Amino acid sequence: MDTFALIVTIGVALGFTYTNGFHDSANAIATSVSTRALTPRAALAMAAVMNLAGAFLGQGVAKTVSEGLIATPQGSKGMGILFAALLGAIVWNLVTWYFGLPSSSSHALFGGMVGAALAGGTEVIWSGVLEKVVIPMFISPIVGLVAGYLVMVAIMWIFRKSNPSKAKRGFRIAQTVSAAAMALGHGLQDAQKTMGIVVMALVIADVENQGDAIPAWVKVACAVMLSLGTYAGGWRIMRTLGRKIIELDPPQGFAAETTGASIMFGSAFLFHAPISTTHVITSAIMGVGATKRVNAVRWGVAKNIVLGWFITMPAAGAVAALSYGVVYLVFG
């Protein structure tokens, strides 16, 4: 196997992780920044550290990505498929970041994998795509919406007799914990997705065998790149999540972050399902906002976000398929 092709593919995978970090940093900190619980730089530093820690909490999601979505392609053709899949995901991340649209980096990657695999003639494990990607893609936002609403209702009832200003100060402090939990869950979910791609590349290159444990250096490299990307910050998307959907106050921010973190930990540890942190936190914010009044949520903005969710996988898949065609024409 061409060592250069392996190095390039791993480098592009780490580049995707970096874009994932700055694209999705808003997921962890937008609510705490918008409620002024944390300053932007303090929030980013905290999120970067917790992303790094979260990457080492498990490897079930990585196994799903490396073994459960497409058959491991072989030879230089297989490396070209991985390269094209990553390129499709990176391009979509950059496009949606430019327009401030909180789309899913995870589904961009999965769409890229499926599109490149179809273009390269590699088997797509459709049952795995359905069970681990498509079904969670629909279920997790619904759970986030409903759970966010219920958590916020519970908070409103528990603190119904509290002094509002004192309660908000308390929740502003509590948000440092909920934002940290959200960032930890983000590291647990998203760093592992790139680990799965790197492991697949190592298997193609005969450096690792299918089913081997993830090498420590892969965990470190993916965790560090995700953290660096997170610290770079995604201010365009942060404005959309923190202010354009609804103006959040500290109790609402705490409810949304707690809901999102709980769903991410549950899906990773119980189902090994690589869910979208973007879908979860965005839907939780909508659910929390709806407790104030239904029209408090800017549903026009929410509609555009949801439409972006639906086109992410096919769009990234199309870019990946075109990228594979270019790679095939240039390198044969």
Compute the C-alpha angle 233/47/238, nearest 5°. Answer: 40
Say whether pLDDT at 332 is over 70.
no
How many Å apart are CA 291 and CA 213, to the nearest integer? 45
Residue 332's Cβ-count burial label (10 Å; 0-12, 13-18, 19+) is exposed
Split at pLDDT 50, 70, 90, the class of 43 is confident
User: pLDDT-based confidence at 8, cuts 50/70/90?
Assistant: very high
**What percentage of the chain reaches a pLDDT higher than 70?**
90
Token duo for residue 71: 């058959």
Mean pLDDT on 315-330: 91
The rounded mean pLDDT for the chain is: 86
pLDDT band at 25 (very low <50, low <70, confident <90, very high): low
Per-residue pLDDT band for 80 (boundaries 50, 70, 90) equals very high
Q: Is the pLDDT of residue 202 over 80?
A: yes
Which pLDDT score, from 0 to 100, does residue 237 have? 57
* Overall average pLDDT of the 71-78 stretch: 86
Query: What whole-number distance in Å separates Cα of residue 14 and Cα of residue 238?
Result: 23
Domain range annotation of the chain: 3-331
pLDDT, residue 98, reads 81
pLDDT at 258: 94
Of residues 302 and 317, which shows the higher confidence score? 317
What is the rounded end-to-end Cα distance, in angstroms, of the chain? Answer: 15
pLDDT tens-place string over residues 235-267: 555 555 545 556 778 898 899 999 999 999 998
Whole-angstrom distance, CA of residue 114 vs CA of residue 77: 15
138-168: per-residue pLDDT in tens? 898 899 999 999 999 999 999 988 888 888 8
CB 112 within 8 A of CB 118: no
Q: What pLDDT, on the 0 to 100 scale, is given for residue 27?
A: 64
CB 44 within 8 A of CB 230: yes
CA distance 151 to 149: 6
Residue 19 pLDDT greater than 80, yes or no: yes
User: What is the structure's pLDDT at 204?
Assistant: 92
% of the chain residues with pLDDT over 90: 38
- Alpha-carbon distance values, 235 to 97, 99, 243, 254 (Å): 9, 11, 12, 20
Residue 174 has pLDDT above 80, yes or no: yes
Q: How far are the Cα atoms of 17, 137, 149 from residue 194, in angstroms, in the given order?
A: 6, 19, 32
Query: What is the reported pLDDT for 230?
Result: 79
pLDDT of 233 above 70:
no
- Cα three-residue angle 37-287-187, rounded to 5 degrees: 55
